Amino acid sequence: MMNTTKIFASMRLLHRISKLSERKIHEIPLTKDHYGIKRGPYASVTDQDINQFERILSTNNQILLRPEDTAEYNRDYFRYVRGLGTVVLKPRSTEEVSAILRYCNIRRLAVSIFGGNTGVCGGSVPVFDEIILSMELMNRIVSIDEYSGLLVCEAGCVLAKLEDELSKKGMIMPLDLGSKQSCQIGGNLATNAGGIRLMRYGNLHGSVLGLETVLANGEVIDLMSNFKKDNTGYHLKHLFIGSEGTLGVITRVAMSCPVAPTTQNVILLGLKTYNAVLQTFLQAKKQLGEILTSCELIDQASLEYTVEHLKTSSPIDAFPFYILLETTGSHKEDDEEKVRQFLEFSLEEGMVTDGIITSEPSKIKKLWQLRERIPAATYSNNFCLTYDLSLPLEQFYSIVPAIRKRVGHLVNIVCGFGHIGDCNLHLNIAGNILSEEIRKLVEPYVYEFTASLKGSVSAEHGIGLLKPGYMKYSKSTAAIALMKQLKSIMDPNGILNPYKVLPYN
């Protein structure tokens, strides 16, 4: 008889044979097996429960039960995780969300909240047979007020759709992500998403003026506000921003949205050293000031790999580092003058050797693709370990050569890129077979390195299912204990997104 451990090992290998981004659903390992998770003390769904959900939801197409319909709700965008949910519910209103949760809480049915499913940490899909609560039908824009810059909408609105509607009134969303065609504003709040405009407009804790949320027991908490200033009591909305669906279901959002800029420049610069990167970033902040919107770092490995993946040629010579800068403003000549002075200074001082600048929309798109398609390029491998770290700028890049030294010869690529303007590095390590040797050389080294610099092991992607065990590298035992206390007050039966965010073992 074959040894069980060996069978599992060879099954795991089978799952990794097809490229990550092309995995068929049955090739994704079941989360519960892959991560050895024990099912919590929850009830299993019965026919009576389905009858009750049918009574709560107003139309038939709000419940999916056929395996071929529920399959897509059981796997994440990155094909890391696969759950066993058999019921998908699609509420159309806060009242329906409330009635579903009230019932699930009484019945002890666990619930997994599903937004645009672009999350990076496996938080949006069930682990076992949790009820899948999809927010996709709660997609109405309630109002857009150009005078106050206020957007009020339901949580299931897709980010790109909000951007389109705002543009009709000369406004933009304060956040922009590569996933905007699918991600939802509720998911953005739940993950406290960052993205490429954060440097200019700050994070969601600043731009979300109010929100409505439904607690695990079905109670609706109205924290909506139309004002930037509201100091009445504790600022509860912040608890839900970044809580990844573990404290409540976000159903409605009020956001402060900036006026759309009328001018845009994108600059790609080649730099010889990391010190030149730092100096150029500093000068960009000083000389471009309020028009500087994004500052992204791309290393040579990232650019070369992406260019090859896109089957295109690099618009710039080879350099160890590149900086992609974007400026947006409201006065073409003023902006151009600032950009000209900044470039002249950077060239004269020898910080920058080569670069490209464009204000043409089609060329802007192509330059941004070089940054935005790096994850897709690395995910075209059979495996990709991805880390999303906040690090002090002086040591920002040092983890990349350190990891290259440890595993460079065992993998296809080790690359570093990301939002240097926000101290947020993305480190991707991709290759053919993820051996235990590679994993042990990378982890916990990456986390210990980050902790030693008092950085964050999750700068913007969150904790989800994949990282609860690593929270200890960025949060103290007392802080994690307080989080657990909050969870037990707000969701005493633990029905919302179980096995996610908080360490469960």
Q: Give the residues lining the site for ligand FAD (CB under 6 A).
A: 77, 113-120, 123-124, 135, 155, 177-179, 183-184, 186-188, 190-191, 193-195, 244-245, 249-250, 375, 460-461, 464, 497, 500
Give CA–CA dist 416/303, Å, rounded.
Answer: 10
Q: How far is the CB of 122 from ligand FAD (least distance, A)?
A: 8
Closest Cα partner for 202 from 170, 234, 228, 232? 228
Residue 346 buriedness (CB in 10 A; 0-12 / 13-18 / 19+)? buried
Q: How far is the CB of 409 from ligand FAD (least distance, A)?
A: 29
Give CA–CA dist 189/140, Å, rounded.
Answer: 17
Q: How far is the CB of 250 from ligand FAD (least distance, A)?
A: 4
Give CA–CA dist 326/264, Å, rounded.
Answer: 7
> Which of 186/329 has CB closer to ligand FAD?
186
Q: How far is the CB of 223 from ligand FAD (least distance, A)?
A: 13
Q: Are 159 and 139 in contact (CB under 8 A)?
A: no
> Which of 196/291 has CB closer to ligand FAD?
196
Q: How far is the CB of 338 from ligand FAD (least distance, A)?
A: 26
> Which of 87/249 has CB closer to ligand FAD?
249
> Which of 329/464 has CB closer to ligand FAD?
464
CA distances from 158 to 69, 155, 164 (A): 21, 9, 10
CA distances from 491 to 462, 483, 486 (A): 20, 12, 8
Q: How far is the CB of 443 from ligand FAD (least distance, A)?
A: 21
Which residue matches tokens 């000031």?
289
Angle at 56 between CA 69 and CA 221, to 5 degrees: 105
Give CA–CA dist 432/353, Å, rounded.
Answer: 36
- Backbone φ and ψ for 129, nearest 5 degrees, come out as -105, 35
> Which of 179/382 has CB closer to ligand FAD?
179
Q: How far is the CB of 424 from ligand FAD (least distance, A)?
A: 9
> Which of 319/499 has CB closer to ligand FAD?
499
Give CA–CA dist 281/275, Å, rounded.
Answer: 10
Classify residue 37 by its DSSP letter. Answer: P
Q: What is the number of the residue whose Cβ is closest to ligand FAD?
A: 187
> Which of 155/291 has CB closer to ligand FAD?
155
CA distances from 392 to 43, 306, 374, 388 (A): 46, 26, 22, 13
Q: How far is the CB of 314 from ligand FAD (least distance, A)?
A: 21
> Which of 283/458 has CB closer to ligand FAD?
458
